[in-house]
Amino acid sequence: MVARVKFQGSTAHRARHGDRRERVLACSFVSDYLRELFSLGGRRALVTGGSSGIGYAMAEAIGRAGAEVVIVARREAPLDEAVRALRRHGVTASAISADLADQVAVRRVCDAAGRIDILVNDAANNIRKPMAELTLDDYEQTIAVNLTAPYLLGQHFGPRMAERGWGRIINIGSQQTVSAFGDSGVYGVAKAAIGGLTRSQAEAWSPRGVCVNTIIPGFVLTPLTAPAQAIPGRVERLAARHMAGRNGVPADFAGAAVFLAGDASAFVTGQMLFVDGGFYVH
């Protein structure tokens, strides 16, 4: 409840100035409340796939909410540009270049990242072939990036978060986490497993303050979905399948990132949050 302030002066003066001052006080009260609920000040986040797409959008949102951000991706030039963009928003940001298909590189990320309070596993690849045409190499590459890397990063950072009594892990799933869609292939296998990984991590570490959740996107216009976007008419058909009447964009994930990364989600763990414009239920 916002306290009201009694202003002196004429009725006309109060009419001109009193209401505005009360509105200022109310806004200050709300800002303090939201800051307490959603601020990530003092936290440190590691975001894989953070140089573009959903990963960058989540890194920016988490950083602008106050956390220091470390982003991970393969290519150095996009990483450098992403760090510059984050810093333009006032975010304390740095980058680690690594191919997360390589377990040695994953271990290097763990060693280089230092203390991490918020882990976002967004890095992904998607080899889009009919199921019968997938090779063993396709399988191994897909599982390595989409499942093994999140598992290994969680195995490193999760117990350390639990020791400190606070942590957040956000795994990025897919519509393929819950259903077959669009040549799911091995990508579908890996993303289905991400749902199970989230539940197992939540079971292991939530009693010690570590909340673990999966975000399920709809069809989002990012570099990862570029091959699907190139098929004539596909973007329009997918937009129509969303209840929202459009495809997703990376900025749609900012609010969910801040919510799941902070204290506001302290009683949310082991869950799948569908940020999909109603795609799954349409």
Which of 33, 56, 139, 187 is an active site residue?
187
Sequence-distant (6+) residues with CB within 8 A of 222 are 52, 53, 54, 250
Alpha-carbon span 118 to 217, nearest angstrom: 20
What sign does the dihedral 153-154-156-158 (CA atoms) show? positive
Q: Using an 8 Å Cβ cutoff, are 115 and 160 in contact?
A: yes
Q: Using an 8 Å Cβ cutoff, are 73 and 50 in contact?
A: yes
Q: Using an 8 Å Cβ cutoff, are 101 and 77 in contact?
A: no
User: Is 33 part of the annotated catalytic residue set?
Assistant: no
Q: Using an 8 Å Cβ cutoff, are 134 and 185 in contact?
A: yes
Active site residues: 187
